[in-house]
Amino acid sequence: MTYEKEEFLSDLTRTLALDYDVTPEEADIYQIHYAVAKLILGKLSHDIHKSRDAHNENRRACYFSAEFLVGRAVYNNLLCLGLTDTVDEVLKTFGRSIADFEEIEDAALGNGGLGRLAACFLDSAATLNLPLDGYGIRYKYGLFKQKFENGFQTEIADDWNIHGGAWSRRCEKDTVRVEFADQVVNAVPYDMPIVGYHTKNVGNLRLWQAESLTPFDFNLFNAQQYDNAVRDKNRAEDISRVLYPNDDTWEGKVLRLKQQYFFCCASITDLLKDYKKYHGDDFSQFGKYITIQLNDTHPVIAIPELVRQLTRCHGLDFEQALGICHQVFNYTNHTIMAEALEKWPCDLMRAVVPQILDIIMQINGLLSEEMRYMKLTGEEIGRLQIINDNMVHMARLAIYVSSYTNGVARIHTEILKRDALKEWYLVYPERFQNKTNGVTQRRWFALCNPELFSFVCETLGHDRVTTLLKEIKAMEPYADDDAALTRFMEIKRANKERLCAFIETKEGVSLNPDSMFDIQVKRLHEYKRQLLNAFSILYLYYGIKEGSITDFYPTTFIFGAKSAPGYRRAKGIIKFINEIANLVNNDPQTKDLLKVVFVTNYNVSYAEKLVAAADVSVQISTAGTEASGTGNMKFMINGAVTLGTLDGANVEIVEEAGAENNYIFGAKVEELSSIMQTYNPKGIYDCDEKIRRVVDTLVNGTLNDGGSGLFREIYNSLLYGAGWTRPDNYYVLGDLNSFIEARLRLNRDYQDRKAFAKKCFINMANSGKFSSDRTIRHYSTDIWKIEPVKTDW
């Protein structure tokens, strides 16, 4: 995009005066941000409308996801449009800079990798001129803002949109009415343009906001029934108020199901309307022009909803409609854990969306007929039933109706085929594919690490890595170039200094940039094993104090994670890590060697700073539990080694960069199935004094859980099992010694700074596979069958 500085300054000044009655010097950063967005969207309007037509006139793909963790849009959009320097120079004329946009809130519309992957995919598709658009929910408060009180996570509402959604526009004319058994609401769309890098193609993210048909009852208010006067408004807005509301009660489950049906019903209605506008009334051809990717099980209810609308609104019979669904839908699985494969009680579904349950029952009947025709036994059919034990199994519905089911890393897909979804793979082997995840190098390299990105471009003599990350492979020979390696180390040191300054401002903790930065940031879940990391730090702490661990290079351990509000043990692990930080950071014997900090409110903006500064990327999920991971890829691109298990995409990272340049430990997937049959964590605890010493800190008073009982609950879950889990369900104690050995070996290697920097450099140079551009190209050809649009308007 071309936007001359003088023109931009003039337009910005005029917009601030008209909208806010302020001069640029008087305006606050939110007003400036809104004005910048307004001007750029105005300039983009022609491309936005032409792109929408181009997407609709051809075959297009639609990405249905409960999460889109887009982060702060302003920097990414300026980068893609080539306006970063222009805007920065204009802002500096009145004492501001684009760095001031750090104050702008992230769009808190996701929880972790699932939502960030969706955002990366939209970015890549826009850049590749592919007709892909996203559909989801415009949460008012998103997830939550995290704070620590006495080391405990506390949640407060994250009103990310308090200053207005600068990069989205309300589209009142496309409002859809959504009906539940006990409620009717309006779904109002907000469109967020997804700007491609140096292209006219603009993707669209349509997010639905729930609103009441009658937001205010004047008669009730006049009768002084003030709460009842806005009751319908509040009930409607609850649907899009919060991402993943707590669902440990019937009411919570009802709200979750309403959220899923709400955005799927609205999105399907919207797609059918667009189809009619561009292609006419023959809905039998719908599958020729539309393909829908279901990002996990949250949007699977879209399948029976499309059947409902095709049959009841557009005159198709049931089998015709279901045949179209087979053409339209594809399903991405993100987990191998049975407990995470979504199921809904039939009673709940009948109470919320009875018309959908009736359709699912019809689909289940056809499934049974087809399986009997294929000569499956009654027992085999039982394992495939969509409705079983009065529960609707959403993953089974997705696999049965979809054209393709894909995993998100090679090992994950093999586990699905061999174990988690084995019954389905035996019936439909041709439907299963692998699509290893990726991340966009625009945000996760060019934007978050501009000095390193510029160094790579200068060294290669071009900037093609911006859209062809695989060309970064040409950097590998420079790992043996002393000047290049020195420059790489200088950039890493500068990034660490910036992170230290940021953490000191945000957390009030002073860090040493010359220490090794060992970072684990991701959603807090037991399978991700932040507890294993915490135990290892205590192991090092005691070893240093007693003298059994010597010559230890100073290390800063950084954690970042949010726990689901109702996940007790995860919240207990956060408290445990914060207690460890208090212990080791204040001990005179260890405070200069070990530093622990758990950053608050980890989000995309925090991640951008962390990945650029990391020496070590900690990816330690129990082998076979992490579908892929994308954080591991972000760290790799920015030049960190992986300390991890052979799980998810770690397997492919090690293949690309070499086992000698990473630190792999722990039991492998193929070993764990037999190990866990006889695994006795209590035996390890009883026999290994050093492991017993760290585990006992949970209950012997060394660390204080504030009387909550959380530490005792973690202790019992490890040694005796808790709830539905067996003892030490994620093999924490079993992998602890192997993890310690890898971590100590890494620490020794780090002391030869040049040699260690070479490992980091080689990881960066071999990260080309992990661009989401590559992933999206494969989706577009292997699953969606879509072609790039022409942008010659």
Q: What is the pLDDT of residue 108?
A: 77
Residue type, 345: P
The ranges of the chain with pLDDT < 70 are none
> What whole-number distance in Å separates Cα of residue 695 and Cα of residue 715?
7
Q: What is the pLDDT of residue 340?
A: 74
Q: What is the pLDDT of residues 269-288, one digit of tens each?
A: 999 999 999 999 999 999 99
Q: Do domains 5-437+777-784 and 515-754 have the same CATH topology?
A: yes
> What whole-number distance in Å separates Cα of residue 748 and Cα of residue 552?
7
Nearest to 422, CA basis, from 455, 367, 383? 383
Q: What is the pLDDT of residue 163?
A: 84
Neighbours of 377 (CB within 10 A): 10
Residue type, 682: K
Q: What is the pTM of this model?
A: 0.96
Q: How far is CA 42 from the centre of its chain?
A: 30
What's the CATH number for 515-754? 3.40.50.2000
For 663, the 3-state DSSP assignment is: strand
Q: What is the pLDDT of residue 71?
A: 87
State the CATH architecture for 5-437+777-784: 3-Layer(aba) Sandwich (3.40)
Check if the beta carbon of residue 485 is closer than 8 Å to that of residue 761: yes
Q: What is the pLDDT of residue 215?
A: 87
Q: What is the pLDDT of residue 217?
A: 85
Pull the structure tokens for residue 24. Answer: 């640029």
Q: What is the pLDDT of residue 339?
A: 72
Check if the beta carbon of residue 423 is closer than 8 Å to that of residue 384: yes
> What whole-number distance in Å separates Cα of residue 569 and Cα of residue 600?
18
Residue type, 585: N
DSSP helix, strand, coil percent of the chain (3-state; round to 5):
55, 15, 30
Return all residues near 227 (Cβ < 8 A) that are at least 6 apart: none
Q: What is the pLDDT of residue 162?
A: 85
Strand ranges in 173-301 using DSSP code E only, listed in sequence order: 176-179, 184-195, 202-212, 290-295
Q: What is the pLDDT of residue 353?
A: 98
Where exactly are the structural domains of the chain? Answer: 5-437+777-784, 515-754
Beta strand 145-149 with 152-156 is antiparallel
Q: What is the pLDDT of residue 143?
A: 87
First to last CA, the chain: 14
Q: Whose structure tokens read 């029976």?
A: 304
The full 3-state SS of 228-284, as one line of letters, equals HHCHHHHHHHHCCCCCCCCCCCHHHHHHHHHHHHHHHHHHHHHHHHHHHHHHCCCHH
Active site residues: 334, 522-523, 528, 630, 634
